[in-house]
Chains A and B, each alone.
Chain A
């Protein structure tokens, strides 16, 4: 048995190990990273996309529930996500904060100009540090953060009307008034 004929077998063993780890971890990914759920959202302070001089930080939204949506113009699924975000913004139930992840600023601005801007503010996460803090696996991802700054829900993939109502609106306390987006 010459060595070079065994190489594929070794490659398979390595691949299977990686895949097994991936499968083991996949439930955490598709539902919620238990580490974050029920814990305070990671603090961030990043440049604003729309106003380069300003900063967008978690502190600005403290005291009210808000949604953090991770997106990028390079992500095809974000376009589907955007449809639902526009509808959600129109409802004005709570502010939507965008986290523009590893993106090109000009492209991101063009996207918002063309498709509409559902966000109360968009933070630019060029290096992806904040996305890592949030344990973002891929865009789009959407987090619901309550008035105490605690992460109460995480959704991976594009939002749909069903998900929005079941997992986001249903988790809001009854007292959240329309127009809370001010």
Chain B
């Protein structure tokens, strides 16, 4: 057991050495390494040479391993207060997961494969990935993905010990919340990148790869809330364990979907069936092992007390059920092509037409219940006491939403517009009631409450801004000659012409567009069309004028001949707040995870373990 911590440290040092070596190979243009030759080029700037390390399959696996080693090390360093047997089991489970990934890399995906004789020059990093946001997106996303391994390891360790109590939940909460916060930023960064880099101004496509990151997020969100119940009330134990297993399973499944190439995707960068089989086998061993443990141990867990239908426990249960339904919707849509293919029902494609309406089914009730749930009490309902607060905040939200719709934007003709606006504002208002009340009564605000409030306000901002974006975005494409204009609402785009452009590893053209609002010039945009030399790929670089309440977007389409170009114009109100809300949500998570009570928690100060007496008998 004493070996676990030094071993974690040694693993971190060794994986760091591997990652360092790979980074060095990239920075020093070592084209005798196949992976470097495939994903770099002598014209590639240094920053992207480092980011190119995780630009394809082999290197992103090394990054994955390094982050897992980092989490493992963090657990080893911060687990001083945990009982040594428990800490050893957690580190042991993390070690098994690491082992799987190390084996995977060694057997199927050696990043240091030699290329002899060395290439004269490299094939370059996929131009789509040559972007600052995308350079940071994988590390953040992986930190979130892999972070759920910690909650998973805690769950497995608890099941191995046959003990699971409120202290366990208190240990697990900050790790889960931290991983969730990273995942939130990672997803938001990916969406932001898609918006300005893919060139057509969309920000979420329900693409399999996006879904692969969104499913662990949904389950992780459910887990955070279910852990709160287990921590405060000692309930939902089996359910919490299952969610902890599921969250990491979704991470592994995401890795599988992205890396095996079973699904055709906008971003399917790597596809190899032998790799797919390996991850699948690994996934079955790890998740199957955990679920077997669950089937064996979970029935032995006892919950001490019940609760009333309108108590906070119920609302958190609804939250969990609805989030899991939402994740199932995404899961079903993502895997539908595979399932129908496996059953011999022919090919089937699932797109936005399925995801948008179906996803809203569980999400709208969920959002409506957030405001009510925030005001509920633990254990006893007494929601009647809160009726006045609920009615008042709702009335205020209704008034503000109507003022926003009719005052600022005008009716959109969609029923979702008022619903989204009211729910978003209601969530913001409801989140503020309790903290303001506490401050007024000169009570302290623990960080966990502050963090929760920030995250819930962020949710409200997210819902509100997304509603406005979806209701009031206007866009048009037109063929323009220099000097011609297109009209878009109160805006006019005048196409001034194009000029040639030369970058470090690309050339192309840069268009100039003057934007007028009500006839007055408000800005100039310079959308680009880049041709990356090595891969011969044409990239559309949109130009976006970011204002406090909207984005003015222009992208250059095709050269239509005779000096005429197709130009895409788009006005998206409040779009930046969608991503800022995600950042705020992550900040809320960070604040909550740093609460003192998690650091002080030790087993001694808590009530005795409430697992049935049969456990020890069952072990032998």
| A residues whose Cβ falls under 8 Å from a Cβ of B | 1-2, 5-6, 8-9, 12-13, 15-27, 29-30, 74-77, 79-80, 83-84, 86-87, 102, 114-116, 131-132, 135-139, 156-157, 160-162, 165
A138:B349 contact, CB within 8 angstroms: yes
Q: Would you give the 0/1 interface string for B95-130, flagging 1 where the beta carbon is closer than 8 Å to chain A? A: 000000000000000000000000000000000000
**Max count, chain B CB within 10 A of own CB: residue among A15, A16, A74, A157:** A15
CB-CB nearest 10 A-B residue pairs: A161-B536, A114-B477, A23-B276, A21-B342, A22-B262, A22-B338, A9-B291, A138-B264, A5-B295, A18-B342
B283 at interface, CB cutoff 8 A? yes
Given contacts A132-B347, A137-B337, A162-B535, A20 and B299 within 8 Å (CB-CB): no
A59 to chain B, nearest CB (A): 25
Q: Beyond A16-B283, A116-B560, is A136–B538 a contact (Cβ under 8 Å)?
A: no
B297 to chain A, nearest CB (A): 9
CB of A76 within 8 A of CB of B205, answer yes
| Segment with Cβ contacts to A, from B144-152, B196-204, B389-397, B541-549 | B196-204
Given contacts A8-B295, A18-B338, A132-B346, 5 further A-B contacts (CB under 8 A): A9-B288, A21-B338, A75-B351, A84-B538, A138-B347
CA distance in complex: A157, B478 (Å): 26
B342–A17 CB distance below 8 A: yes
A2 to B612, CA, bound (A): 15
Q: Is the CB of A116 within 8 A of B558?
A: yes
Interface string of B275-289 (1 = CB under 8 A from A): 011001001100110
In the bound complex, CA of A138 to CA of B263 (Å): 9
Q: Is the CB of A26 within 8 A of B558?
A: no
Task: Please give the distance in Å from A80's CB to the nearest CB on chain B.
Answer: 8
- B261 within 8 Å of A (CB atoms): yes
Residue in B closest to A77 when the chains form the complex, CB atoms? B266
> B residues engaging A (CB < 8 A)?
198-200, 202, 205, 207, 238, 242, 245-246, 249, 256, 260-264, 266, 268, 271, 273, 276-277, 280, 283-284, 287-288, 291-292, 294-296, 298-299, 335, 337-339, 341-342, 346-347, 349, 351-353, 477-479, 535-538, 540, 557-558, 560, 566, 568
28 sampled A-B residue pairs with Cβ under 8 A: A5-B298, A6-B295, A12-B284, A16-B283, A18-B335, A18-B338, A19-B256, A19-B280, A20-B280, A22-B276, A23-B277, A26-B273, A26-B276, A27-B273, A29-B264, A74-B352, A76-B205, A79-B199, A87-B538, A114-B478, A114-B568, A115-B477, A115-B558, A116-B557, A116-B560, A138-B349, A157-B264, A161-B535
Closest to A1 in B: B295
* B residues near A79, Cβ cutoff 8 Å: 199-200
- A5 in contact with B284 (CB, 8 Å): no
User: Which residue of A has the minimal Cβ distance to B275?
Assistant: A23
Contact between chains at A116 and B271 (CB < 8 Å) = no
- A138 — which chain B residues lie within 8 A by C-beta? 264, 337, 347, 349
A87 to chain B, nearest CB (A): 8
Check B537–A157 contact: CB distance below 8 A.
no
- Asked if B271 and A74 make an inter-chain contact with CB atoms under 8 angstroms apart, the answer reads no
> When the two chains form their complex, are residues B198 and A26 in contact, meaning their CB atoms are under 8 A apart?
no
CB of B338 within 8 A of CB of A160, answer no
- CA distance in complex: A115, B291 (Å): 51
Contact of A161 among B199, B291, B538 (CB under 8 A): B538
Q: B337, B353, B536 — which one has the most chain A CB atoms within 10 A of its CB? A: B536
Q: Are A23 and B346 within 8 A (Cβ)?
A: no
What is the CA–CA distance of A79 and B542 in the complex, to the nearest angstrom? 14
Complex: how many Å from CA A9 to CA B289? 9
Name the residue of chain A whose CB is nearest to the CB of B351: A74
Most chain B CB within 10 A, of A80, A87, A132, is at: A80
Q: Is the CB of B207 within 8 A of A76?
A: yes
Complex Cα distance, B307 from A66, in Å, reads: 69
Question: Within the assembled complex, what's the spacing in Å between the Cα atoms of A115 and B538?
Answer: 15
- Cβ-defined contact, B342 with A12, below 8 A: no
* Across-interface contacts of B271 in A (CB, < 8 A): 26, 30
| B535 in complex: contacting residue of A13, A114, A157, A160, CB < 8 Å | A160
Question: Roughly how many angstroms separate A131 CA and B346 CA in the complex, as a whole number?
Answer: 11
Can you name the residue of chain A whose Cβ is closest to the Cβ of B208? Answer: A138
Which A residues touch B263, using CB under 8 A?
22
Judging by beta carbons under 8 Å apart, are A76 and B264 in contact? no
A115–B557 CB distance below 8 A:
yes
Docked Cα-Cα span, A27 to B264, in Å, equals: 12
Residue in contact with B558 in the complex, picked from A17, A30, A83, CB distance below 8 Å = A83
A16 to B339 alpha-carbon distance, docked (Å): 11
Contact of B198 among A30, A74, A76, A84 (CB under 8 A): A76
| Nearest residue, chain B, Cβ from A157 | B264
Q: Which of B287, B349, B566 contacts A139 (CB 8 A)?
A: B349
Q: Are A76 and B202 in contact (CB under 8 A)?
A: yes
Q: A7 → chain B, closest Cβ, in Å?
A: 9
Contact yes or no, B261 A26, CB < 8 A? yes
- What are the residues of chain A within 8 A of B352 when measuring CB–CB? 74
Which residues on A sit within 8 Å (CB–CB) of B260? 22-23, 26
| Chain B residue at minimal CB-CB distance from A79 | B200
In this complex, which of B262, B268, B346 has the most chain A Cβ atoms within 10 angstroms of its Cβ? B262
What residues of chain A lie closer than 8 Å to B560, measured between beta carbons?
116
Residue of A nearest to B535 (CB): A162
How distant is the Cα of A17 from the Cα of B288 in the complex, in angstroms? 13
- Cβ–Cβ < 8 Å partners of B238 in chain A: 5
Closest to B349 in A: A138
For B342, list chain A residues within 8 Å (CB): 17-18, 21-22
A80 to B205, CA, bound (A): 14
Given the complex of chains A and B, what is the CA–CA distance between A160 and B299 in angstroms? 55
Contacting residue for B287 out of A12, A30, A137, CB 8 A: A12
Which of B245, B262, B291, B347 interacts with A19 by CB under 8 Å? B262
The distance from the CB of A154 to the nearest CB of chain B, in whole angstroms, is 12
Chain A residues positioned under 8 Å from B246 (CB to CB): 8
Whole-angstrom distance between the Cβ of B299 and the nearest chain A Cβ: 5
Are B347 and A136 in touch, CB under 8 angstroms?
A: yes
